[in-house]
Structure 1
């Protein structure tokens, strides 16, 4: 992900539109929350990936006072605004953080403040709001979600009675019969510099953009973390949007389908193990009409041959140049690289992962390999990682 280069669209609106992610290092609830690993990747990376892939902004920034957060931000393709200690206190307001950024960047005309702790951001969620500002000349647009909750007045003192605030108790509508209410979900606020100069995020010609309730999550505590991790695995943005036409899925066997451990029997025979659900996942891909192929660097792999025969997949052994082999397969099947996905676990897999439309890795892959991956399973290699990736590919291919 290093060295990301923005290639902005040709636009009639020449105003400089900057995306800014506030990412303070002093989180009290979860230490260094903004770079804690979520599904194998720093929390910050999830929103950065979506922002970069949206190709909507002239510059992308992370505002932080923390050196570790700054390093991760740069590794994932963002520029770093080194905020002052005064703008990084527990009681610092978001408007103060954005004002300080704007003061140091007079070239910026429009700002999008995007929340790092809402990792279920997708590129498509940014397209229309940006268009509303650039083309329809809104001064501010912010994210909302719809909620179906009945509100009651809070009791302030003993003996006081509560009253309903948004319902008639004699008629409690079903969810289908009530449109619900719109709430700010905090995922993003877009606004002009003129509004910010008035210390406002919303004003002038103002509107909202409604996001799905499932994507409206915010990590604040450890409990939130476990819930969001489950949602990211199912709904997160891994580099491909829905309904992509995946035609070829390639797995490096060692450490992906097998657990990368060598077991020795009493007779001195070597063997490895795999997870039954992983092979079932591969069978589901094949049933959906997706070609699955295996490769291994190992030139003497009898157990791997048995696995390939069991699931009836093509296997190439003794592979030294994985990109070269993938290129041969892509040409043979007359595919576009965006139709190819690759799952590996070692640094030798990184070129193939980056060349394919979607690179993936198990949870226990090498650190550099996980950084190169777009999809990272929460399970280990040989322990269900392949099945998680298969399920994700099948969701991508849903019509």
Structure 2
């Protein structure tokens, strides 16, 4: 691993994440009544706990306005949750002001074109293994595990192993 990448990893003070395609496999399950359900991996939840214990907060920025995501974030005590967010980069800049950090101190994991602006602006990047934008953006880390199966945990473990 090159020393500049190692330095950027050590510099991370917050991890921001998309949900669909990272914490989920991107599928939406509809009940006959029209209710939407999503499946989350407990591995990702454990990553949040591990990161919190070492002082790295998490921010969720998702274009979906999902009650299930809200409940999952509340259960995991994630400090920054933005549902229905259409301008993720502006929100990241607000978080930077709140945390008194720079964009280059943020790690971001996403999976699709609505994440590109953030991916191009932050200090450390990842795409989930099932990301459809791998030909458009080369991340610092491509998870070995697809979204919905522990991709966020894989990214967190990679960061922790290289700090």
TM-score in same-fold range (> 0.5): yes
Q: Over aligned residue pairs, what C-alpha RMSD do you find?
A: 1.8
Q: 1:322 to 1:372 in 2, by over 3 A?
A: farther
Rounded Cα–Cα distance in structure 2 between residues aligned with 1:291 and 1:369: 30
- Taking the TM superposition and a 5 Å limit, the aligned residue runs for 1:97-246 are 122-124=1-3, 240-241=5-6, 244-246=10-12
Rounded Cα–Cα distance in structure 2 between residues aligned with 1:259 and 1:353: 19
Q: Does 1:311 align with 2:76?
A: yes
Rounded Cα–Cα distance in structure 2 between residues aligned with 1:370 and 1:360: 13
Rounded Cα–Cα distance in structure 1 between residues aligned with 2:162 and 2:99: 20
Rounded Cα–Cα distance in structure 1 between residues aligned with 2:16 and 2:63: 14
- The corresponding residue for 1:210 is none
- The corresponding residue for 1:394 is 160
Q: How many aligned positions are there?
A: 161
1:362 to 120, 123, 128: 128
Q: 1:370 to 1:284 in 2, by over 3 A?
A: farther
Q: Is the 8 A contact 1:353 1:372 kept in 2?
A: no
- The corresponding residue for 2:143 is 377
1:346 to 101, 112, 132: 112
Rounded Cα–Cα distance in structure 1 between residues aligned with 2:92 and 2:76: 20
Q: 1:369 to 1:330 in 2, by over 3 A?
A: farther
- The corresponding residue for 2:60 is 294
- The corresponding residue for 2:17 is 251
Q: Is the 8 A contact 1:361 1:370 kept in 2?
A: no
Deviation at 1:368, TM superposition (A): 4.3
- In the alignment, structure 1 segments of 5+ residues that lack a partner are 1-121, 125-238
Rounded Cα–Cα distance in structure 2 between residues aligned with 1:248 and 1:123: 22
Rounded Cα–Cα distance in structure 2 between residues aligned with 1:268 and 1:248: 36
Q: Is the 8 A contact 2:12 2:105 kept in 1?
A: yes
- The corresponding residue for 1:270 is 36
State the SS of the aligned residue for 1:327. Answer: helix
Deviation at 1:369, TM superposition (A): 6.8
- Cα deviations by residue, 1:260-298 (Å, 9 ceiling, x for unpaired): 101122443210101111111111111111011111111
- Cα deviations by residue, 1:116-166 (Å, 9 ceiling, x for unpaired): xxxxxx334xxxxxxxxxxxxxxxxxxxxxxxxxxxxxxxxxxxxxxxxxx
Q: Is the 8 A contact 1:370 1:376 kept in 2?
A: no
Which range moves more in the overlay, 365-374 or 263-272? 365-374
Rounded Cα–Cα distance in structure 2 between residues aligned with 1:392 and 1:310: 24
Q: Which has the larger radius of gyration?
A: 1
Q: 1:370 to 1:311 in 2, by over 3 A?
A: farther
TM-score normalised according to structure 2 size: 0.90
Deviation at 1:370, TM superposition (A): 6.5
Rounded Cα–Cα distance in structure 1 between residues aligned with 2:77 and 2:28: 23
Q: Is the 8 A contact 2:111 2:133 kept in 1?
A: no
- Cα deviations by residue, 1:86-124 (Å, 9 ceiling, x for unpaired): xxxxxxxxxxxxxxxxxxxxxxxxxxxxxxxxxxxx334
State the SS of the aligned residue for 1:331. Answer: helix
TM-score normalised according to structure 1 size: 0.38
